[in-house]
A and B are shown apart, each in its own frame.
Chain A
């Protein structure tokens, strides 16, 4: 048996299972969650196979990084369900934050004895594709194929397979996607308590609609009107009040600062991971693990403190591999920038199987990699960070961020994977393709990812193979 610490590869689910006896006991003991709920915490380091047996059968088709830290990341993701059910059982408040992409949790995690999760993140979880019954349930309630996969959240609110009934749903509307608003209204019709708050639109400085002076965000360098930021701050104050009403606890600025600092620790670690992995010629971590890690920035897998430990572990692995000059991928892979999260996780594996690697992403959450400002009240800092959100302004803004990312990480091509049914995707793709092609003159591949449980669709595979062939040829690699 190869020692885990010496192995740098992508391995299958059963390979991991065969190695589980080699996982040191002290490492298992380190991987605990819910430490503030259960003395000493609860161990969560199970193998992907274990989670597969519990229902996530499609994990069998994925390839995982062979490091212990990656195992911990996967186990942390899949144990979120356990956290939510156990916390509910112990009388904690369960809060479903939806479609705000990282803003509400900063406030809600200030509350003691509560957990927050994103019900609408179901669609990207690698296990999702095997849960067609969630889509069937959603369809029964009126959310069919015309809506994107977040409609699964509606089905999950009916079946309660993934999470217990939330005590409160906090839903963003306004400058967020329309599918979500439709789904959320149906969730409310099921009788769940919903607090609605509105996200402001970020108008372009070139739009002559106001005499206000535009400001710029400190980290994302986005232009915004102070009135838009103030509006969002006002909306977030409403969220805070609703949380206080739910818990009977006043949320002080000190409590918010503690939560903000936790999220800043998470955000800084993910930003560093991105730079180390995406900036490396031979990436020290595969794209799939990076995919999971990036999303921790917005949802923290229902436990910010353990998220920090998980990310620290990943960073240690990455630094070690960079020092050792080893990578789990083929040598000198073709560098691809990925736009919009792929709703079939196995496509990231496929890219790497085809000799590529992910060199930068824009998964619609790039604002959440910027730290929250510490020189102002927390709610104002969160509202300011919301102004960096790529979804709330002109498409050119998102394209600009993609172009900057492509340049920063030296990508040779761009893949835009559309989400079938998502209202924004048909508009995103042409504008982004046009601007990227104009400014960078590198190939762009775009396709919609259809619902295809079990394996990627032949059409998508064919496109990706052709695209990688083309990049390889451009790269002087022949066919």
Chain B
């Protein structure tokens, strides 16, 4: 059996092949401005990388904000369901999933069987999402993959009080101008994201094991801030950004 999951997100498209026992291949590409075309291209690249043909793939499930853009899907599934499925596959004791993606963050409460019991989403503004980190990266001229590294030895942080990503960016520039060290500002940014994310915990609960997924989970600085602010240790998959696509593939496998 070979099935595929495709997660068409706001920032990246994750595609994944699963053979019923393990992940066979994954490819992550930028969503860009043409998600429909790019999703198709990403899926074709996945097939090519795994040296398989479309006919070899029994079922394809798409998820993510752009799930309906991918015309090759046999069915679509909600992101909440796919993230929950992917997280509990990787961590069977997971009871809470925190997912921070490009343009939203979500918290999902699971039961012992990995079924979704509650969920809450924050997608009203960019603050607290991957897009906010990207904006900060650009304004302070530190590459995304170097941001966490810059704060490894830092224990201090400053308050980023603006609730809007655009105003927060201005606030950060102001802090830089006043001579606040970069690492302290970045810690402040990570803590701000953590607090915003954890504000959702009141509705869902933060029951262990807590799994952190999504593209932002690649940022160790945010993981650390979340752990410090919540007092809970997080489980982060090796490739946290593909959790949704993995969940989609698992849904596809169940349907076969």
- Prevailing SS type, chain A contact patch: helix
A463: nearest residue on chain B (CB-CB)? B121
Chain B contacts of A473 at CB under 8 A?
A: 81, 115-116
A433 contacts the other chain (Cβ, under 8 Å)? yes
Q: Are B80 and A469 in contact (CB under 8 A)?
A: yes
Chain A contacts of B115 at CB under 8 A?
A: 470, 473-474
A458 contacts the other chain (Cβ, under 8 Å)? yes
Chain B contacts of A459 at CB under 8 A?
A: 104, 121, 123-124
Chain B contacts of A474 at CB under 8 A?
A: 115
Q: Are A469 and B78 in contact (CB under 8 A)?
A: yes
Q: Are B81 and A462 in contact (CB under 8 A)?
A: no
A471: nearest residue on chain B (CB-CB)? B116
Q: Are A462 and B116 in contact (CB under 8 A)?
A: no
Q: Are A470 and B254 in contact (CB under 8 A)?
A: no
Q: A462 touches which one: B117, B121, B251, B254 (CB < 8 A)?
A: B121
Interface 0/1 of B228-256, CB less than 8 Å to A: 00000000000000000000000100110
Q: B119 touches which one: A458, A470, A478, A479 (CB < 8 A)?
A: A470
Smallest Cβ distance from A127 to chain B, in angstroms? Answer: 26
Residue of A467, A474, A478, A479 contacting most chain B CB atoms (<10 Å): A479
Chain B contacts of A470 at CB under 8 A?
A: 80-81, 115-117, 119
Q: Are A469 and B203 in contact (CB under 8 A)?
A: no
**In whole angstroms, what is the CA distance A466 to B124 when docked?**
17
**In whole angstroms, what is the CA distance A469 to B77 when docked?**
8
B54 contacts the other chain (Cβ, under 8 Å)? no
A254 contacts the other chain (Cβ, under 8 Å)? no
Q: Are A443 and B81 in contact (CB under 8 A)?
A: no
From 72 to 121 in chain B, residues with beta carbon under 8 angstroms from any chain A beta carbon are: 77-81, 85, 104, 115-119, 121
How many residues of B are in contact with the other chain, CB < 8 A? 20
Chain A contacts of B167 at CB under 8 A?
A: none
A465 contacts the other chain (Cβ, under 8 Å)? yes
From 446 to 460 in chain A, residues with beta carbon under 8 angstroms from any chain B beta carbon are: 458-459
Smallest Cβ distance from A424 to chain B, in angstroms? Answer: 19
A437: nearest residue on chain B (CB-CB)? B118
**In whole angstroms, what is the CA distance A462 to B10 when docked?**
13
Q: Are B119 and A466 in contact (CB under 8 A)?
A: yes
Chain B contacts of A466 at CB under 8 A?
A: 78-81, 116, 119, 121
**In whole angstroms, what is the CA distance A458 to B104 when docked?**
12
CB contact under 8 A between A462 and B118, given known A478-B254, A479-B254: no
**In whole angstroms, what is the CA distance A98 to B119 when docked?**
37
**In whole angstroms, what is the CA distance A479 to B61 when docked?**
11
**In whole angstroms, what is the CA distance A312 to B123 when docked?**
44
Q: Are B117 and A443 in contact (CB under 8 A)?
A: yes
Smallest Cβ distance from A470 to chain B, in angstroms? Answer: 4
Smallest Cβ distance from B194 to chain A, in angstroms? Answer: 22
Smallest Cβ distance from A173 to chain B, in angstroms? Answer: 31
Q: Are A462 and B79 in contact (CB under 8 A)?
A: yes
Q: Are B65 and A462 in contact (CB under 8 A)?
A: yes
Q: B116 touches which one: A458, A469, A478 (CB < 8 A)?
A: A469
**In whole angstroms, what is the CA distance A443 to B109 when docked?**
11
Residue of B85, B123, B251 contacting most chain A CB atoms (<10 Å): B123
Residue of A465, A466, A474, A478 contacting most chain B CB atoms (<10 Å): A466
B115: nearest residue on chain A (CB-CB)? A473
**In whole angstroms, what is the CA distance A401 to B99 when docked?**
35
Q: Are A433 and B203 in contact (CB under 8 A)?
A: yes
Q: Are B203 and A479 in contact (CB under 8 A)?
A: no
From 118 to 133 in chain B, residues with beta carbon under 8 angstroms from any chain A beta carbon are: 118-119, 121, 123-124
A478: nearest residue on chain B (CB-CB)? B254
**In whole angstroms, what is the CA distance A466 to B67 when docked?**
13
Q: A458 touches which one: B65, B78, B203, B254 (CB < 8 A)?
A: B65
Chain B contacts of A462 at CB under 8 A?
A: 65, 78-79, 121, 123
**In whole angstroms, what is the CA distance A478 to B117 when docked?**
14
Q: Which residues of A are at the interface with B, using a C-beta cutoff of 8 A?
A: 433, 443, 458-459, 462-463, 465-467, 469-470, 473-474, 478-479
Q: Which residues of B are at the interface with A, using a C-beta cutoff of 8 A?
A: 65, 77-81, 85, 104, 115-119, 121, 123-124, 203, 251, 254-255
**17 pairs of residues in contact across A and B, judged by CB atoms under 8 Å:** A443-B118, A459-B104, A459-B121, A459-B123, A462-B78, A466-B79, A466-B81, A467-B119, A469-B116, A470-B80, A470-B81, A470-B117, A470-B119, A473-B81, A473-B116, A479-B81, A479-B254
The 9 closest A-B pairs by CB, nearest first: A466-B80, A466-B78, A465-B78, A470-B116, A469-B81, A469-B78, A459-B123, A479-B251, A473-B115
Given contacts A443-B118, A462-B65, A473-B116, list 5 more A-B pairs with CB under 8 A.
A458-B65, A462-B78, A470-B116, A479-B77, A479-B85
